[in-house]
Structure 1
Amino acid sequence: MPKLSSQNLTPTHPKKTNRLCLVQSIFDLCSQGKLKEAINSLQLLAQRGIRLDSNTLAFLLEQCGSHRSLYYGKWVHLHLKLTGLKHPKTFLSNQLISMYFKCGDYKEAQKVFDKMPVRNVFSWNAILAGYAKSGMINYARRVFDRMPERDVVSWNTMVIGLAQSGFCEEAVGLYRRFRRLGIGYNEFSFAGILTACVRLKELGLSRQVHGQVLVVGFMSNLILSSSLVDAYAKCGWIDNAHKLFDEMPMKDVLSWTTLVSGYAKCGDIEIAHRLFDEMPLKNAVSWTALIGGYAWKGQGPRALELFTKMVKEGVKPDQFTFSSCLFACTSIASLKHGKQIHAHLIRTRFNPNTIVVSTLIDMYSKCGSLEASRRVFDCLGKNQDVVSWNTMIAALAQHGRGVEAIQLFEEMVRVGVNPNDITFVVIFTACSHSGLVNEGVGIFDSMSWNHGVVPGQEHYACLVDLLGRSGRFNEVIDLLEKMPCEPDGRVWYALLGACRIHGNLELGTKAAERLIELEPQSPSAYVVLSNIYAADGRWDDVAKVRHMMNKRQVRKEPAISWVEVKSKVHVFSVSDQVHPSKDEIYAALQQFMAQMENDANIV
């Protein structure tokens, strides 16, 4: 019979056993998703005089942060104060900071940080990451500059924060400073710089980072490899992106989707679709990448077919899916399909973001239903932001309702929504389409003084268009001379269009020459200049322009038109020879032409 040691005979303390059971019950409740019940049990513990250890309290704070539950997070904080931890030690204070930031209360997080008697590098990193992830990059900068000690995490957080907030050049500079320090690195050290590569679309920088990732042996990291594929695709090196994709030892949905999106955005929709079909697994992002590719390629019917197939296969569309599909409806002016997608949003109780709602407003407007656009806009109520206001003003502009557009702009300012640079572009467009020249000039003059928006090239282009359409070319010339910067292609194209309307050959020729100099491969200037010469009967000059286009291999994109027959959209191009009913269509056209000639002879 085995001997029993004295340790085996020692009874377990009942209070300790009870405490362990209570702590375990908290873990069990959290694992079952019952955060409310877990937090409610804290009151029972306090009544029994049981104090939880720091690890358990940190776990509860982490759960509150993960659930974005500020209410229960504050309950845990209150429990700390009631149980003698009014000034918790550094470890728990760090957890409190993280919890408050995750729940969106940066002020409470800052209060906890400020009251800490002792801070370590983890404390500084917690407050830095909180501000950076919240998009409060100026606060993050100040924290970073004040840090007495920085580790790899600190540098990574700041580089990623800058890149994600759009300060890509600054992110690149900071990354270079970090690498020169030689304090080490990890896989996250390359995440921020790759985000900057994708946004800046700089091929040289992308290749340098690719080399660094390759040298340190992190190419097996799926996120880094996919980011490199994305960077090459965004830089226009889609073949290199595909080669890198083929070399990846493992591929997930993200890497497949990145390449599909790359080909779709480069316009090679056939390869994008073939890759999509080869994907072992697909998600909503994959479907949206292909749907968006077809929509932006001008193949709206194909995009809508894919959306129907996506829904039938049980894949839930996301915000970007609906935005792309509504854009597809707009591109083919299909009000019927747009209404169906709107109905799907309502039927599935989908909560659209501002971009989707604005795309919905734009779709109704461009499909001819301005009243429906206004109803959607009005339904937003207090949720109307600058994007939705801009879209509604643009809708009024497209329908020639310039006076109403100005009234809506004034209402927007009156309710406290600050106009941005896009607001002024759409309001100038409204004035131009409605001939409200003096009103548009007045708003232009108020941009900087009243609204703090400095006019850019696009605003000057709008003003040139506004003045030029009304034939006020002397004021246009004066404006061009007083511009604080050299006019770009948009400004010269606006002037060229105005010259075509009024037959101003001299100024139009000058504008075309400058536009061709700036954008030699853009067909717009050649076509408009050719039309100006043709209107003046200068056929030799028309021939010279055509010859110049051929010599420089400038090709004009063929225009397309469409018609919806029996719920199917038919797309046509000039001299179309691919439509299955082309013989019947051309026969009908011949009949119409013959009838028109007969009618003309009778008159």
Structure 2
Amino acid sequence: MPHPSTPTVRQRPRSCLLDALHRHLSAGHLDLAVSILPLLARRGLRPPIHSLSLLLRRCLLSRSLPLARRILFHLNLTSLKPLYPSLTFLSNHLISLFFALRLPDRARDLFDTMPQPNIFSYNAMLAGYARMAMPRAARRLFDRMAVRDVVSWNTLIIALARHGSPRDAVWFYSRLRRSPLGFNAHTFSGLLTACVRLEELCVVRQVHGQVLLVGFLSNLIVSSAIVDAYSKCGYVSDAKRLFDEMKVKDVLAWTTLVYGYAKSGDLITAHKLFDEMPQRNSVSWTALIGGYVQNGYSYKALDLFRLMVGECVSPDQFTFSSSLCACASVASLKHGKQIHARIIRTGFHPNAIVLSSLIDMYSKCGDLVGGLWVFERTDFSNRDVVIWNTMMSAVGQHGHRRGTIQLFGLMIKVGTKPDSNTFVVLLSACSHSGLVEEGLECFRSMAKHGVFPEEEHYLCLVDLLGRAGHFEEAMDWIRKIPHGPSIRAYNALLGACRIHGNVELGKEVAERIMELETSSSGIYVSVSNMHAESGRWECVEKVRHLMEENEVRKERAASWID
């Protein structure tokens, strides 16, 4: 017992705050740990760099980006920024944070100023490039690396597989196999992603054989990934065979098989498997809902959505998008509004796909005002090119063609870069409004925006000129199509000839189509109808004789009424 006159020893504020920081960090209370940082800053105190690095790492692992932002703010506030490059452990986590915040330039700037980046620094950059869909940058960095581990190889393979270079991913895998590093389960996950992109059964089977050979088939992640690859490549029977051989089946394997059967149109088997699942998550529900939507059973998809919500399974971005597509396909504004209300009521933060689906749903249900309401309440920073394209298309479909052009001007003004679909929407709007000069100007401006004309753009242009009666110009543009004139382009011009009664050019165009596709009865019928509408019955008879000579039979219309 202390003497009454002995003064009480109090802990210094620095010790109290740092102890609290370490205590909350150890307990996993990240929000409480981060809340102590401003208190330390006010007193001019700096926590150990190791503690800050660990706190930042845990925020990244738990995907708590708002908390990670606050840590970054604290680091900048306490004049630690100049020290970043020399603090390798901290810098590695900051690189990951910058990529998570979609700031690749800041990540690259920090990496370039590091005096001695280690293998973890390089791997953080590779992972960031993979996440940001920057495979070329990832490959350039990989080529610079003096030392690589299996994580480096796996990350590059995944980046290439997911973002447009699946054959390169397979090539790098073959290089890794010949290296002394070996491979692991994650290597096969990246390789199988490449197989899905290639849609080549022989490659999937080769990978399956290699997995079996090295003894990785018992790995649940790998076996589920092979089931997924077979299923997504359209070989559901192979997927089911492997699925039946699996001793342990996770929700991914079940969901993949449900998706495969639904995609192939076998909804009975898909639903049967879904009912047999021991556990179901939002992805499982979405796979079946999406299958019903893709196969035209929209009301069944909406029934499933109601059951999902009734079982207290929270819909994700893809669930909402698929369900809204179902509403749009049957023009059910009532169901669409109910889903929209649920999004608002539950505080769900819709991404660009869901916002686009909402705009599209309102438009196709005849409520353009509802679509505009969603569009106008979407912050400019969140309006990506898909949202702009959807809104422009909706405005055009409701007859406000010039409104589409005005929206395009606003889109450029706010700095959103157009894509290929943007110009398809614009050219289609000009075509249906007879805005020939505007359409031609739009087509010529594509290169300025970094978009190169594809067949779809030429088809819109031919349709625009044909509808306006500019037949010679339309023929000139058909000849300019990069891979040569197509049947679709000639068909667009043939339709315009029929509208304007230009029988002579129609016959010439029809002959071109017959040269490309001799067995189609549709072209003969179109020419016959053009002659009939002009009262040239002798020509109608000649076309019919020509069909008989070429042994072309008119396809009979099917009737569902007995």
Aligned-partner SS, 1:575: coil
8 Å contact kept, 2:359–2:375: yes
Alignment correspondent of 1:5: none
Offset at 1:99?
A: 4.8
Amino acid at match of 1:414: K
> What displacement does 1:441 show?
2.1
CA distance in 2, matches of 1:457, 1:33: 53
Q: Is the 8 A contact 2:130 2:159 kept in 1?
A: yes
> In structure 2, what residue type is equivalent to 1:61?
L
Task: Write the distance in 2 (CA, Å) between the matches of 1:530 and 1:293.
Answer: 36
Partner of 1:325: 323
Note the 1:350-361 alignment, pairs <5 A: 350-361=348-359
Query: Which whole-Å CA distance do the structure 1 matches of 2:108 and 2:123 have between them?
Result: 13
Q: Tell me how far 1:423 sits from its aligned partner.
A: 0.7
Moved more, 282-291 or 123-132: 123-132
2:443 aligns to what? 444
1:97–1:326 CA distance, 2 compared to 1 (3 A) = closer
Q: Which position in structure 1 is the counterpart of 2:236?
A: 238
Aligned residue identity for 2:560: S
Measure the CA separation in 2 of the matches of 1:548 and 1:351: 56
Alpha-carbon distance in 1 for matches of 2:26, 2:266: 52
> Structure 1 pair 373/85, CA: closer, same or farther in 2 (3 Å)?
closer
Shift of the 478–107 alpha-carbon distance from structure 1 to 2, 3 Å rule, reads closer
Is the CA contact 1:437–1:467 (under 8 Å) kept in the aligned structure 2?
Answer: yes
Residues 31-40 or 218-227, more deviating: 31-40
* CA deviation map 1:237-260 (0-9, x unaligned): 221122222222221111111111
| Residue correspondence of structure 1 range 99-118 to structure 2 within 5 A | 99-102=97-100, 104=102, 106=104, 109-110=107-108, 112-118=110-116
2: distance between equivalents of 1:555 and 1:218? 54
Q: TM-score, normalised by structure 2?
A: 0.83
- Equivalent residue number for residue 166 of structure 2: 168
| Structure-2 change in CA distance of 1:330 and 1:79 (3 Å) | closer
Matched, 1:60 2:45: no
Structure 1 residues 357 and 72: CA distance shift in structure 2, 3 A: closer
Matched residue, 1:581:
none
Partner AA of 1:252 in structure 2 = D
Measured against aligned partners, the alpha-carbon deviations of 1:451-493 in whole angstroms (never above 9, x if no partner) come to 2211001111111222233343322222222333224454344
Which 10-residue stretch deviates more, 398-407 or 535-544?
535-544
Answer yes or no: is the 8 Å Cα contact 1:26–1:41 preserved in 2.
no
Task: Show the counterpart of 1:540.
Answer: 544
2:142 to 141, 144, 147: 144
Structure 2: distance between partners of 1:407 and 1:79: 44
2:555 is the counterpart of 1:575? no
- Return the alpha-carbon distance in structure 2 between the equivalents of residues 222 and 472 of structure 1: 62
**Counterparts in 2 of 1:74-473, with a 5 A limit?**
74=72, 77=75, 90-102=88-100, 104=102, 106=104, 109-110=107-108, 112-382=110-380, 383-448=382-447, 450-473=448-471
Q: 1:534 to 1:189 in 2, by over 3 A?
A: same
Residue deviations 1:95-147 (CA, integer Å, cap 9, x gap): 45445544555555445544444343233223322333333434323321211
Secondary structure in 1 matching 2:375: helix
Q: Distance in 1 between matches of 2:48 and 2:369?
A: 61
TM-score (normalised: structure 1): 0.78
Q: CA deviation at 1:164?
A: 2.3
What whole-Å deviation, never above 9, does each CA across 1:534-573 have from its counterpart, x for those lacking one?
55445836975997579xxx998x7xxxxxxxxxxxxxxx
Shift of 1:367: 1.9
**Aligned-partner SS, 1:28:** helix
CA deviations on 1:32-85 (whole Å, 9 max, x unpaired) are 7533256468679996x9x8595x554323123232233443377579988x98
Distance of aligned partners of 1:129 and 1:371 in 2 relative to their CA distance in 1, 3 Å threshold:
closer
Q: What is the Cα deviation at residue 424 of structure 1?
A: 0.7
Q: Is the 8 A contact 2:21 2:36 kept in 1?
A: no
**Structure-1 residue corresponding to 2:514:** 513
How far is 1:337 from its partner? Answer: 2.1
RMSD: 3.6
SS state of the match for residue 193, structure 1? helix
Q: Work out whether residues 524 and 547 of structure 2, in 8 Å CA contact, stay in contact via their aligned partners in 1.
A: no
Residue 443 of structure 1 aligns with an amino acid whose one-letter code is: C
SS at match of 2:445: helix
Once the two structures are superposed, the pairs formed by residues 35-74 of structure 1 within 5 Å of their partners are 35-37=33-35, 39=37, 54=50, 58-66=53-61, 67-68=64-65, 69-74=67-72
- For 2:93 and 2:162, the matched residues in 1 are separated by 24
Q: Counterpart of 2:446 in 1: which secondary structure?
A: helix
Cα deviations by residue, 1:287-317 (Å, 9 ceiling, x for unpaired): 1111111112111111111111111111111
Give yes or no for contact 2:17–2:36 (8 Å, CA) kept in 1.
no
In 2 relative to 1, CA 502–250 (structure 1 residues): closer, same or farther, beyond 3 Å? Answer: farther
The structural deviation recorded for 1:501 is: 4.1
Closer/same/farther in 2, CA of residues 53 and 336 from structure 1, 3 Å limit: closer
Q: What's 2:8 paired with? A: none
AA aligned opposite 1:398: Q
The verdict on how the C-alpha distance between 1:473 and 1:232 changes in structure 2, with shifts beyond 3 A counting, is: farther
- Give SS of 2:514's match: helix
Residue 158 of structure 1: how far off its partner (Å): 1.0
Looking at structure 2, the residues matched to 323 and 64 of structure 1 have their Cα atoms a distance apart, in angstroms, of 29
Change (3 A) 1:200 1:18: same
| Structure 1: distance between partners of 2:441 and 2:348 | 42
Q: Deviation at 1:377?
A: 2.0
Q: What is the CA distance between 1:173 and its match in structure 2? A: 2.9
Partner of 2:5: none
Q: Percent identity?
A: 49
- Aligned partners of 1:402 and 1:436 also within 8 Å: no
Partner-residue secondary structure (3-state), 1:315:
coil
Distance 1:488 1:177 in 2: 41
Offset at residue 29 of structure 1 (A): 4.0
Amino acid at match of 1:575: W
Count, aligned residues:
533
Aligned amino acid, residue 185 of structure 1: F
Asked whether the 8 Å contact 2:510–2:523 carries over to 1, the reply is: no
User: Residues of 1 paired with 2:414 and 2:101: CA distance?
Assistant: 29
Q: 1:183–1:63: structure 2 CA closer, same or farther, 3 Å change rule?
A: closer
| CA distance 1:154–1:80, shift in 2 (3 Å) | farther
SS in 2 for 1:196: helix
Q: CA deviation at 1:156?
A: 1.0
**Do 1:327 and 1:359's aligned partners in 2 also have CA atoms closer than 8 Å?**
yes
Larger mean Cα displacement after TM superposition, 341-350 or 351-360: 341-350
> CA–CA distance in 1 between the matches of 2:215 and 2:52?
38
2:25, 2:33 within 8 Å by CA — same for their partners in 1? no
* Cα distance, 1:291–1:53 mapped onto 2, change above 3 Å: closer
